[in-house]
Amino acid sequence: MSKFSKLGLRRAAGAVAIASAAVVGLAGMGVGEAAGAPLPNGYKNATGIDGESIQTWRTGEASYPIPTVANNPASRGFVISGTYTAKASAGVGGNLAVKYIVGCQVDVSGITLDLSGAISLSATTLSGELGLPLAPGQVAVVDITDKDFSDSGVAAIQLSQLSFNLNKCGGYASARSAVKTIGAKGYSTDDGSLSGEGTLIQSTLYGKPFTIG
- Tell me what pLDDT residue 205 has: 97
How crowded is residue 35: how many other Cβ atoms within 10 Å of its Cβ?
A: 8
Query: In angstroms, rounded to a whole number, what is the distance separating the alpha carbons of residues 176 and 40?
Result: 12
Task: Summarize pLDDT for 115-136 with one digit per residue, the tens.
Answer: 776 777 666 544 446 778 888 8
Of residues 97 and 4, more confidence is placed in 97
Apex CA 20: angle with CA 175 and CA 94, to 5°?
A: 65
Backbone CA torsion sign across 183, 186, 188, 193: negative
Domains of the chain, residue spans: 11-212
Task: Summarize pLDDT for 28-62 with one digit per residue, the tens.
Answer: 223 333 345 899 999 999 998 889 999 999 999 99
pTM, two decimal places: 0.79
- Tell me what pLDDT residue 164 has: 85
Architecture (CATH level 2) of domain 11-212:
Sandwich (2.60)
